[in-house]
Chains A and B, each alone.
Chain A
């Protein structure tokens, strides 16, 4: 992958400025149609999802009181995992986007909602709604690209440190909610600039700790205590449900912007960007997941990532309805509507994580037969003299390009 502007086969080269503006107009119309038809059935939908979530959560936590009994543990843990997934994805993420603000229900509103996550909602709304959704896939602006800890582009110089990328990506996936909280705090940048004593940062850090404290107290203390003799089994169930939820949401989010073929953009390319160009960037910078209705609900309809990125504030239950229209638009404007089943998108995203953890071209040049020699080369690239390393890296890249 490389930023779209540097590609030799630029996928938007065939579009004129007028085309792009026309595209924007068509998208505005699709958005308006949904806005005009929002109503009672949509309101019923989100209330039903919230109701179902609460009943599953309540039921699962009740079952887990008997978590010492293995079938209860299994059932309760599955239930709690599903509840936590629903709560984060279809409910929390979408309410916090303001998708349901039009209902004017103070109980289901982006400014009053709170969720079962380590991230305080205000911090998340800033880093997600404002930064990620505005600067989607712009290298250096959209920190969701690798969350500041990954090599996400061939143009980023490779260093041996990146060999650990698959491992820490996996650890990040397991503890995703804490990763997100640290990321919303811009912890990396603050540490690098040694600004941890900044009162504004301290205030935000305190908010995160309070939030984590509440969630942890619930999952790892109060609920286990209520289970009496099953304390440890219930604790383990909560821990498992949190890991499952974290792995799931991490996978969904990887699928949204990270599979092979999703485009990235240069910082300067968005200067003076028009509404049409903004739409186009969202179209090329997102990927969908195809699958069943249940899968769509469990991903918070982020399986319709393209539709979501075009219209982040439309009710999530309507994305499926506009998807065929959006796909038709892609076809008519000669653009690639990126969609695939979940395993393929997850596989593709992890393939990319692994590929970019290695020097440019290394994975491409490696076959079962030349594996020993390639590994030897990689060893030299990692431990060799700087001059040797630079030469080998250049060679690999050239070999792959040829």
Chain B
């Protein structure tokens, strides 16, 4: 699931004295490796070592449904155990381009092999999800952030829980169910197009057969979508349950409305798949995050020109798209390459470097400057 929470690096597990020594040795070694860092050499031989950028190696890709797969990842030494329900940001090269996406962690914390898993559903036109499900190979190195997210159970476990999920919205919930056997009264209402499309279908049905959960499967191809009222009818003791919901924005909004109307808004926790869908239009508001300037730019004027006209001091070079003297990180939003019409988008957390001299706003965008 996509989340908006910033990742706060947690302290490394290595003992501080040892770490300080290691850092000092590396600083000395830099005298002979400059201009690259000693770490760059060490990474060639041991990319998963402690003290370097957090990476992971894909160990296996296990099909779940025709369009979903579980990816087993061996994280680097600095990886911190996650809390069930959290997600991890993964940076993987797709067609040579580093792309970052967030996926819920689905594995059992008790795994002894040191790996964790994420489960990915290929969405239409999803470059990263399709790559992970269909083309990713064991051995591939990926970049990782530490696990983060607040879609977790509270310390005080609820006596009764309800999970409402749709599609790949099951993934954080699976992470919770696998790791919290102490939950005894659980209802799971899950929607998927058909029985075969239910990710973790066999395992969930087994849990239901064993009496661990009450499972309500809604196969939307034949039975249609569930609305909030139908869920209330299916789960008569709804008011007594703490509810976690994950799925498409429309579903979550409907649930939030219903729970708020019933005066139980504080009993509903939601996790969204993706931030607001980008609408790329002709021009938009350009915001420079560091100097705070905001300006309206039309879709035909380079951001560089528009910014300078608004009095922003911009880095600039050849002004024809060849020298890269003007590149700035696009943190969020979309810009259009005036030469090709190609649109570059960034979701929060990205820092896609764009050439402002040949890029026009294609919707609201936030640029670091």
Contacts and interface: CB of A to CB of B under 8 A. Distances in A.
Interface of A: 32, 35, 38-44, 51, 54-55, 58, 61, 97-98, 101-105, 107, 109-111, 114-116, 125-126, 129-130, 133-134, 214-215, 217-218, 222-223, 226, 275, 278, 312-313
B20 interface: no
Given A125-B325, A129-B324, A215-B34, 18 more contacts: A40-B95, A43-B96, A43-B97, A54-B40, A54-B41, A102-B97, A105-B98, A111-B327, A126-B325, A129-B317, A134-B318, A214-B34, A217-B34, A218-B34, A222-B31, A222-B32, A312-B322, A312-B323
28 contacts: A38-B95, A40-B93, A41-B96, A43-B97, A51-B44, A55-B44, A61-B32, A97-B324, A101-B353, A103-B98, A104-B98, A104-B99, A109-B353, A111-B353, A125-B317, A125-B325, A129-B322, A130-B317, A130-B323, A130-B325, A134-B320, A134-B322, A134-B323, A215-B34, A218-B34, A223-B32, A278-B320, A313-B321
A402 to B, nearest CB: 44
A399 B190 CA distance: 95
Contacts of B98: 103-105
Contacts of A134: 318, 320, 322-323
Contacts, number: 99
B340 interface: yes
Interface residues of B, number: 27
Interface of B: 31-36, 40-41, 44, 93, 95-99, 317-318, 320-325, 327, 340, 352-353
A313 B340 CA distance: 15
Which of B317, B321, B322 has the most A CB atoms < 10 Å from its CB?
Answer: B322
A214 B35 contact: yes
A226 B353 contact: no
B147 to A, nearest CB: 21
B318 A104 contact: no
A39 B318 CA distance: 26
A32 to B, nearest CB: 7
Nearest to B352: A104
B327 A101 contact: yes
A275 B327 CA distance: 21
B272 to A, nearest CB: 24
Contact of A103 (B31, B34, B96): B96
A277 to B, nearest CB: 12
Which of B33, B97, B324, B325 has the most A CB atoms < 10 Å from its CB?
Answer: B324
A114 B32 contact: no
B49 to A, nearest CB: 16
Contact of B327 (A54, A110, A226): A110
